[in-house]
């Protein structure tokens, strides 16, 4: 028995009484997966395969991509989310494309928007992101800005894109657009949202915007993308194209498709309002805990030694009164406590009910209308950059990068 | 025509929707909806990679780009899977079992580990841009009594049905995802009749499962045809079985005619002049509506094509129609050519001016392409492309069937299917299912058995193919006489429905109960419609039986018969036993069908005899 086939090897495959020529693809659950010449894959026992030959490598011919000198320089920093991929129909393998030329080949419309350079920082799944990578990403983006990029596009898996984008908002002062983009449907399919998101992101990156934003589909239709403020955006659906939503604020702009007309809202920060600066220090010892009814206060022991803890409380920002002593202890030990709401929409107010007043007296900061995840990354950044606890607490309640809306506007 | 000499080789691909409870990769029902019932619509673009667009020249490709915007209708019976907004669910085991059952009936070998693939389809009919499909079995046989010499079934695939087209760029999602089996035969058929015969056989096998959808559009045949010296042509979507042989005949004729046109072109030394001439000015005062409206009119000279472009190659189709089909791909309505001019509002003077302007002689054919600037240039390239192909004979094409059985050009034959694995769906195994599958009885065999039971051949055929067959068999198993069961299921129920009786309210058990009562003499068979009417109206079976059976007892019948006969004593005496027929009608009307005709006739005979003896 030969289990040492390589992908692409030509085999003779016995299926029942039928014998066919096939190409070896891979092993799956103890069976050999082969591709018949009609394109179908199927799995057969290894002892039903007979080796025929190992064809030589064929080199795919790639059309040459030319970039137009007169267009503004845009930088694509990739972390793992794919905005472009290529399929090898011989083996069925799908490979992500990170090289500028490959991306432009996959999404030809990009070449009329800008002149691209790419930096492949990581190729990881977004759930494997860490604060340390956010820091590296912030430094890399800063470098691109100071070396003259008219805008920076960050490709990112969608699961934790909002965390990374919010983290960059705090670490980075940017005079140019820093646009996070990804795709909800894989880039290999003709229906993928990758190309439209990428084109809209690129157009936003050359626009008059001057802040960190997420650009993704507005609705299920391919007719526009929304530009979301990084500190107010949240992934609100597991799979739909329009999963990303601005919470409690309108999007800071839209990009129509296919015209690619960018409209920025009045509250969007504009290009060149600030000088580029990076303050990448973060305090990683921070946590986010969602309270549920009956949750044992002993859970809080797990956070002892943490420098900060964001709580996603119920309603206006509550936890069980049984938690108050344990929270008091955490606070006394130097752990910053901030209260957000599981409601996501609306402002925390701990001055209405007794429990809330007890929380405030225990040292809990009301995190206003900040999203829990945004409050977490903000806390990491605040504690990484400010040693004085009172000043740090003040910063938590102050709007730094659009994460806190002073007014709760009617209709949102 | 001697198809052997022609070298006809044909194969069939049958697509049959399965009647599973839910769709192949989601749990939505497999029901079709009216377009007006749609709940929402949305728009998508599908992006082609290089070779999916290979069918059209660069210029055309540019233009087509903006048109790949599709609209989709959603329903309360579709979900995010059809929207391509949610990953697919595991492959539907019910559909898998049905497809493996069909495979077993066709003597095929099942695939051990079945992998779902993505086959690229970017015409908009699949929201994802691909169709999910899995090869489930290979290598079956067509029996020798169906196809002389026998034949092969190459593959059976389980795939998802495409969305239904509402208009050019709008699709309805109700049909998307309904399970479909695709059965591909080898090119083993050698006459048009054989193709029809095999298609009929496969259709019968599919129906024998009792698990396939019925009605227009639920089964479609694609036919592959080639003749010696020709090329493979695939004709898509033949829905009527009876037309298959005719489609094949017409295609053979088309291919033969194209080959003879090719020979004639070569003999004449014909060519294609690739520089179109702008003849917009020639038609500045034309009375042809199409030409008058056109921004640009280009003429293309085909030297020595004269007479051949207008030559009929199939009923209603000329070489000109083929050129026109290619031009239509650029969004034009069609073309004109000098083989059919003057006509269509074009005057003889304009034709001769056209020939002068283009320097074309009478032996040349001039093609006129008119319309918006961009489309006209695209269409000219397409006409040149097709005209050049005339020198090769028959282009490899996918064609669409027209009414009557002729065909028109759709697109070039697809290259090797562009497939890659559907990574969102786990492989499934046939092993646990295959062994347990009971191969259903073939309908043809079933019909033979019914004839043996004494059923009239026509009735046997009708009930054998009927959707009601399982109920029929159940009735037989409960002792209902075959003829009664067949008549009730094939005609009585239908008549009642036509009358407006709510026959759907009658359960299978109630129906069988009523028939069984006839079987053991508790009810008259004439009473069946009345019993069913009562049940449909909500009367319990027992009450319905009692009402109908109780109305005329044997005693009552005797009284009725005596009264009828006595009133017509003179008539009976005159006609003797021959009065039985006319009197039957009178008595049956009196008892309103609640007594078996045989009983009435026996009773009547006795009474007539008594009168005749008395006198
Ligand atoms: Zn569904």
* pLDDT tens-digit readout, A3-57: 689 988 999 999 888 899 999 999 999 999 999 989 999 999 999 999 999 988 7
pLDDT band at A75 (very low <50, low <70, confident <90, very high): very high
| Burial classification of residue B358, based on how many CB atoms lie within 10 Å of its CB (0-12 exposed, 13-18 middle, 19 or more buried) | buried
Percentage helix, strand, coil for chain B under 3-state DSSP, each rounded to 5: 45, 20, 35
Domain count, chain B: 4
Residue A265 above 50 pLDDT? Answer: yes
Query: Is residue B28 located within the same domain as residue B130?
Result: yes
Are the beta carbons of B72 and B171 closer than 8 angstroms?
yes
pLDDT for res B549: 65
pLDDT for res A412: 77
Backbone region of residue A70 per phi and psi (left: phi > 0; alpha: psi in -120 to 50; beta: other values) = alpha
Tokens standing for B42?
């949305």
Residue A2 above 70 pLDDT? Answer: no
Q: How many helices and strands (H and E) does chain A possess?
A: 8, 23
Mean pLDDT on B305-322:
96
Among A412, A385, A410, CA closest to A400: A385
* C-alpha–C-alpha distance, residues A224 and B94, integer Å: 40
| Burial classification of residue A349, based on how many CB atoms lie within 10 Å of its CB (0-12 exposed, 13-18 middle, 19 or more buried) | middle
Alpha helices in B269-305 (DSSP H): 289-293
Tokens standing for B536?
């449909």
Cis check: omega of the bond before B342, within 30 degrees of 0: yes
Contacts of B110 in chain A (CB under 8 A): 16
Contacts of B84 in chain A (CB under 8 A): 185, 189, 191
Within 13 A of B166's CA, how many CA atoms are on the CB side? Answer: 19
Contacts of A196 in chain B (CB under 8 A): 45
- Residue B421 within a domain: no
* Torsion sign, CA atoms B190, B193, B197, B198: positive
Structure ipTM = 0.94
* C-alpha–C-alpha distance, residues B106 and B100, integer Å: 10
Are the beta carbons of B518 and B555 closer than 8 angstroms?
no
Ligand 1 (ion): which residues have CB within 5 A?
B 26, 28, 79, 81-82
DSSP B14-80: EEEEB--SB-SSS--B-----GGG--EEEEEE----GGGGTTS-HHHHHHHHTT-EEEEEE-TT--T
* C-alpha–C-alpha distance, residues B63 and B58, integer Å: 9
Shortest Cα–Cα distance, B114 to chain A (Å): 5
Q: How far is the CA of B327 from the centre of ligand 1 (A)?
A: 38
Among the listed residues A155, A158, A204, A231, the single catalytic one is: A158
Among A87, A31, A409, A132, CA closest to A246: A409
For residue B47, the chain A residue with the least C-alpha distance is A190
Among B377, B397, B359, CA closest to B297: B377
Domain annotation for chain A: domains and CATH numbers: 10-53 (2.30.30), 73-278 (3.40.50.1170), 286-397 (3.40.50.40)
pLDDT for res B518: 83
Among B594, B525, B613, B582, CA closest to B554: B594
Shortest Cα–Cα distance, B112 to chain A (Å): 6
Residue position matching structure tokens 């095929």: B108
B117 to A41: CB separation less than 8 angstroms, yes or no = yes
Query: Is residue B183 located within the same domain as residue B50?
Result: yes
* C-alpha–C-alpha distance, residues B205 and B153, integer Å: 13
Within 13 A of B348's CA, how many CA atoms are on the CB side? Answer: 0
Among the listed residues A26, A99, A119, A159, the single catalytic one is: A159
A239 to B85: CB separation less than 8 angstroms, yes or no = yes
* C-alpha–C-alpha distance, residues B134 and B115, integer Å: 6
pLDDT for res A96: 79
Averaged confidence pLDDT in chain B: 90
Which one of B349, B367, B390 terminates a domain? Answer: B390
pLDDT in tens, B328-370: 988 888 999 999 999 999 999 999 999 999 999 999 999 999 9
User: Is residue A240 among the annotated active site residues?
Assistant: no
Mean pLDDT on B59-83:
78
Query: Is residue B509 located within the same domain as residue B380?
Result: no
Among B43, B44, B29, CA closest to B76: B29
Q: What single-letter DSSP state applies at residue A306? A: -
pLDDT band at B598 (very low <50, low <70, confident <90, very high): confident
Residues contacting A180, CB < 8 A, separation 6+? A154, A156, A161, A164, A165, A201, A212, A213, A214, A215, A230
A221 to B42: CB separation less than 8 angstroms, yes or no = yes
CA angle A391, A392, A394 (to 5 degrees): 65
Query: Is residue B71 located within the same domain as residue B103?
Result: yes
Q: Give me the domain span that covers residue B286.
A: 271-390
Which one of B548, B575, B593 terminates a domain? Answer: B548
Query: Is residue B527 located within the same domain as residue B608?
Result: no
Are the beta carbons of A85 and A99 closer than 8 angstroms?
no
User: Is residue A159 among the annotated active site residues?
Assistant: yes
Mutate to test the interface with B, among A21, A25, A40 (most CBs of B within 10 A): A40
- Residue B420 within a domain: no
Query: Is residue B136 located within the same domain as residue B177?
Result: yes
- Residue B540 within a domain: yes
Query: Is residue B180 located within the same domain as residue B290?
Result: no
B45 to A258: CB separation less than 8 angstroms, yes or no = yes
Are the beta carbons of A208 and A176 closer than 8 angstroms?
no
Residues in chain A: 412
Query: Is residue B223 located within the same domain as residue B294?
Result: no
Helix (H, G, I), strand (E, B) or coil at B354: helix
A191 to B46: CB separation less than 8 angstroms, yes or no = yes
- Residue B260 within a domain: no
Nearest to B84 among A15, A17, A191 (CB): A191
Task: Name the β-bridge partners of B238.
Answer: B221
- Residue B259 within a domain: no
Helix (H, G, I), strand (E, B) or coil at A338: strand
Greater model confidence, A58 or B238 = B238
pLDDT for res A1: 46
Contacts of B78 in chain A (CB under 8 A): none
pLDDT band at A140 (very low <50, low <70, confident <90, very high): very high
The pairing of strands B113-114 and A41-44 is antiparallel
Which one of B390, B407, B431 terminates a domain? Answer: B390
Are the beta carbons of B557 and B592 closer than 8 angstroms?
no
Query: Is residue B212 located within the same domain as residue B285?
Result: no
Query: Is residue B469 located within the same domain as residue B599?
Result: no
Nearest to A43 among B45, B85, B112 (CB): B112
Alpha helices in B174-312 (DSSP H): 192-208, 244-268, 289-293
Query: Is residue B25 located within the same domain as residue B169?
Result: yes
pLDDT in tens, B7-18: 999 999 999 999
Greatest mean pLDDT range, A305-319, A345-359, B549-563: A305-319
Q: CATH number of the domain at B344, please.
A: 3.30.1360.30
**% of chain B exceeding 70 in pLDDT:** 95
**% of chain A exceeding 90 in pLDDT:** 80
Among B299, B290, B301, B302, CA closest to B372: B290
Query: Is residue B215 located within the same domain as residue B323?
Result: no
pLDDT in tens, B361-420: 999 999 999 999 989 999 999 999 999 999 999 999 999 999 899 999 988 887 666 888
- Residue B506 within a domain: yes
For residue A37, the chain B residue with the least C-alpha distance is B416
Residue B64 above 60 pLDDT? Answer: no
- Residue B16 within a domain: yes
User: Is residue A82 among the annotated active site residues?
Assistant: yes
- Which of the residue ranges A88-97, B183-192, B599-608 would you say has the lowest mean pLDDT? A88-97
Q: How far is the CA of B76 from the centre of ligand 1 (A)?
A: 10
- Residue B426 within a domain: no
């Amino acid at each position: 028995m030969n289990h040492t086939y390589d992908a692409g090897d030509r085999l003779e495959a016995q299926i029942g009484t039928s014998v066919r020529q096939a190409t070896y693809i891979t092993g799956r659950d103890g069976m050999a997966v082969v591709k018949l010449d009609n394109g179908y894959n199927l799995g057969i026992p290894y002892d039903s395969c007979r080796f025929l030959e190992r064809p030589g490598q064929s080199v795919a011919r790639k059309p040459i991509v030319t970039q137009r000198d007169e267009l503004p320089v845009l930088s694509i920093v990739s972390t793992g989310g794919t905005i472009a991929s290529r399929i090898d129909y011989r083996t069925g393998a799908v490979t992500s494309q990170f090289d500028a030329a490959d991306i432009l080949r996959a999404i030809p419309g990009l070449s009329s928007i800008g002149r691209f350079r790419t930096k492949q920082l990581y190729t990881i799944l977004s759930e494997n992101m860490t604060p340390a990578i956010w820091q590296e990403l912030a430094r890399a983006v800063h470098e691109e800005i100071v070396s003259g990029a008219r805008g920076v596009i960050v490709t990112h898996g969608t699961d934790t894109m909002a965390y990374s984008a919010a983290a960059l908002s705090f670490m980075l002062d940017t005079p140019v657009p820093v646009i996070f983009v990804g795709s909800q449907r894989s880039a290999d399919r003709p229906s993928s949202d990758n190309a439209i998101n990428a084109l809209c992101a690129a157009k936003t990156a050359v626009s008059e915007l001057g802040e960190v934003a997420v650009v993704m589909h507005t609705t299920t239709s391919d007719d526009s993308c929304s530009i979301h403020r990084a500190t107010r955006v949240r992934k609100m659906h597991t799979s739909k194209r329009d999963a990303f939503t601005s919470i409690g604020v309108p999007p800071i702009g839209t990009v129509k498709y296919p015209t690619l007309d960018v409209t920025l809202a009045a509250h969007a920060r504009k290009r060149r309002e600030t000088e580029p600066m990076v303050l990448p220090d973060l305090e990683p010892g921070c946590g986010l805990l969602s309270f549920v009814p009956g949750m044992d206060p002993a859970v809080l022991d797990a956070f002892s030694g943490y420098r900060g803890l964001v709580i996603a409380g119920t309603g206006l920002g509550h936890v069980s009164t049984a938690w108050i002593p344990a929270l008091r202890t955490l606070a006394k030990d130097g752990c910053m406590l901030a209260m957000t709401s599981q409601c996501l929409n609306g402002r925390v107010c701990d001055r209405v009910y007794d429990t809330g007043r007890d929380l405030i007296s225990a040292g809990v900061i009301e995190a206003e209308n900040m999203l829990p995840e945004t409050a977490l990354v903000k806390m990491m950044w605040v504690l990484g950059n400010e040693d004085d606890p009172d000043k740090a607490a003040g910063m938590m309640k102050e709007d730094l990068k659009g994460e806190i809306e002073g007014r709760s506007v009617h209709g949102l | 025509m001697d198809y052997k000499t022609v070298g006809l080789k044909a194969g069939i691909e049958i697509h049959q929707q399965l009647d599973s409870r839910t769709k192949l990769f989601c749990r939505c029902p497999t029901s079709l909806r009216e377009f007006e019932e749609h709940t929402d619509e949305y728009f998508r673009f599908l992006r082609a990679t290089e070779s999916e667009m290979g069918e059209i020249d660069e210029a055309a490709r540019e233009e087509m780009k903006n048109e790949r915007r599709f609209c989709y209708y959603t329903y309360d019976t579709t979900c995010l899977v059809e929207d391509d907004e949610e990953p697919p669910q595991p492959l539907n085991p019910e559909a898998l079992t049905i497809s493996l059952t069909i495979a077993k009936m066709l003597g095929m070998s099942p695939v051990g580990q079945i992998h779902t693939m993505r086959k690229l389809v970017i015409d908009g009919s699949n929201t994802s841009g691909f169709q999910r499909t899995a090869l489930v079995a290979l290598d079956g046989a067509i029996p020798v009594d169906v196809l002389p010499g026998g034949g092969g079934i190459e593959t059976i695939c389980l795939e998802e049905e495409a969305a239904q087209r509402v208009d050019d760029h709008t699709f309805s999602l109700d049909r998307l995802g309904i399970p479909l089996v695709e059965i591909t035969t080898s090119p083993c058929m050698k006459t048009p009749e054989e193709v029809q015969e095999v298609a009929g056989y496969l259709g019968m096998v599919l129906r024998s499962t009792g698990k396939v959808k019925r009605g227009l559009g639920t089964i479609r045949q694609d036919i592959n045809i080639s003749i010696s010296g020709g090329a493979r042509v695939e004709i898509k979507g033949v829905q009527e079985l009876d037309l298959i042989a005719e489609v094949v005949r017409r295609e053979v004729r088309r291919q033969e005619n194209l080959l003879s046109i090719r020979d004639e072109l070569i003999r004449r030394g014909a060519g294609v002049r690739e520089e179109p001439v702008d003849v917009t000015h020639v038609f500045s005062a034309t009375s042809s509506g199409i030409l008058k409206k056109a921004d640009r009119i280009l003429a293309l000279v085909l030297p020595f094509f004269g007479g051949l472009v207008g030559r009929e190659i199939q009923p209603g189709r000329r070489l000109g129609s083929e050129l026109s089909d290619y031009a239509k791909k650029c969004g034009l309505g069609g073309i004109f050519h000098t083989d059919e001019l003057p006509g269509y509002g074009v005057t003889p003077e304009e034709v001769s001016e056209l020939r002068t302007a283009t320097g074309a002689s009478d032996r040349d054919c001039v093609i006129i392409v008119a319309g918006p600037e961009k489309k006209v240039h695209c269409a000219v390239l397409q006409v040149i492309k097709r005209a050049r192909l005339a020198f090769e004979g028959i282009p490899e094409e996918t064609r669409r069937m027209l009414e009557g059985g002729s065909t028109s050009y759709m697109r070039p034959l697809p290259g090797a299917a562009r497939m890659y694995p559907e990574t969102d769906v786990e492989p499934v195994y046939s092993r646990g299912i295959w062994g347990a599958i009971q191969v259903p009885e073939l309908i043809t065999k079933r019909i033979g058995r019914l004839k043996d039971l004494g059923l009239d051949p026509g009735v046997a055929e009708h009930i054998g193919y009927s959707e009601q067959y399982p109920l029929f068999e159940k009735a037989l198993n409960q002792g209902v006489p075959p003829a009664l069961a067949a008549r009730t299921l094939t005609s009585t129920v239908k008549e009642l429905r036509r009358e407006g009786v709510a026959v759907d309210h009658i359960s299978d058990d109630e129906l069988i109960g009523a028939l069984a009562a006839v079987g053991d003499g508790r009810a008259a068979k004439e009473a069946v419609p009345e019993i069913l009417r009562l049940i449909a109206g909500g009367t319990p079976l027992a009450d319905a039986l009692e009402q109908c059976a109780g109305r005329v007892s044997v005693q009552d019948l005797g009284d009725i018969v005596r009264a009828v006969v006595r009133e017509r004593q003179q008539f009976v005496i005159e006609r003797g036993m021959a009065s039985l027929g006319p009197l039957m009608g009178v008595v049956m009307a009196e008892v309103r069908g609640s007594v078996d005709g045989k009983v009435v006739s026996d009773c009547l005979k006795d009474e007539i005899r008594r009168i005749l003896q008395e006198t």
